[in-house]
Amino acid sequence: MKKFALPAALLLAPLLASCAAASPDEAATSAPPPAAEGEVHWSYDGEKGPNEWGHLTKDFAACEAGDAQSPIDLPDHAAEKLTEHPKITSSPTVGESVDTGHTIQLVPDGDASEVEWKDNEFDLAQVHFHLPSEHTVEGKALDAEFHFVHTTEDGQVLVLGVLAQTGDAENEDWQPFIDGAAEPGSDELPIDVAAMLPTDPTFEEYAGSLTTPPCTEGVDWVVYHEPIELSAEQIAVLKEAYEDNARPVQPQGDRVAYEGTVTVSDG
């Protein structure tokens, strides 16, 4: 996989989570820049919360005026089926945890995963979380949601969404991410995407947007049907870092969700 530098706000600015205004070309960065004079700050509540994002600056206009916004409420199983299957190639590596001001990201130092989909190759830029989940299923939110943000060299974005619920046992495959959430700035954290993804390859796919300002549309969402399980203690660590950092569900309009399956292989 080709290593490349990403533009500057996708990191969620969560997505993906910086506090700065960003152009569409900057929507896929691997780490938010330091706060600068003139940046527009936003939040998840109050006068700078989701209902006001589109009014904070013209750069955030899509948050209000867009007609293909994310997240949405997903069906338990989509009626429409895909015939093309994304292929994920996973290469274990290490990364650093970054506190963006809205979430914690795990940013890989090297190639971590590549998604071949719709004649494009998307490389992993970062992984971050929302609590509770942003996407709902049949109207129900889960305990958390993780976004594996992938981008192409020309700035296209594909996000693998993984829902999470509380289980009885610690999830060892996710513990490096939890450690990074507990201590932002930690490096050399193991990243094994294949191990972190659900075992059931079924997903729901739809066309959407970044879930944070600037809410840029044209994002391809692939949300796994099966949630992973984290222990109550692991969920508590995420909650201690950031709680209630989820954008409300957006109107689906005439968009259609499709069901498909993905293949995962080692690099």
List pLDDT tens digits, range 50-89. 999 999 999 999 999 999 999 999 999 999 999 899 999 9
22/25 Cα distance (integer angstroms)? 8
200/228 Cα distance (integer angstroms)? 10
Cβ neighbour number for residue 152 with a 10 Å cutoff: 17
Q: What pLDDT, on a 0 to 100 scale, did the predictor assign at position 267? A: 75
The pair of structure tokens assigned to 88 is: 């994920």
Q: What pLDDT, on a 0 to 100 scale, did the predictor assign at position 38? A: 56
Per-residue pLDDT of the chain (267 residues; tens, 9 = 90+): 433 333 333 444 444 433 333 333 444 443 333 334 457 899 999 999 999 999 999 999 999 999 999 999 999 999 999 989 999 999 999 999 999 999 999 999 989 999 999 999 999 999 999 999 999 999 999 999 999 999 999 999 999 999 999 999 999 999 999 999 999 999 999 999 999 999 999 999 999 999 999 999 999 999 999 999 999 999 999 999 999 999 999 999 999 999 999 999 987
Q: Largest alpha-carbon pair distance within the chain?
A: 48
Q: What pLDDT, on a 0 to 100 scale, did the predictor assign at position 3? A: 36
pLDDT digits over 196-212, tens only?
A: 999 999 999 999 999 99
Domains along the sequence of the chain with CATH: 13-266 (3.10.200.10)
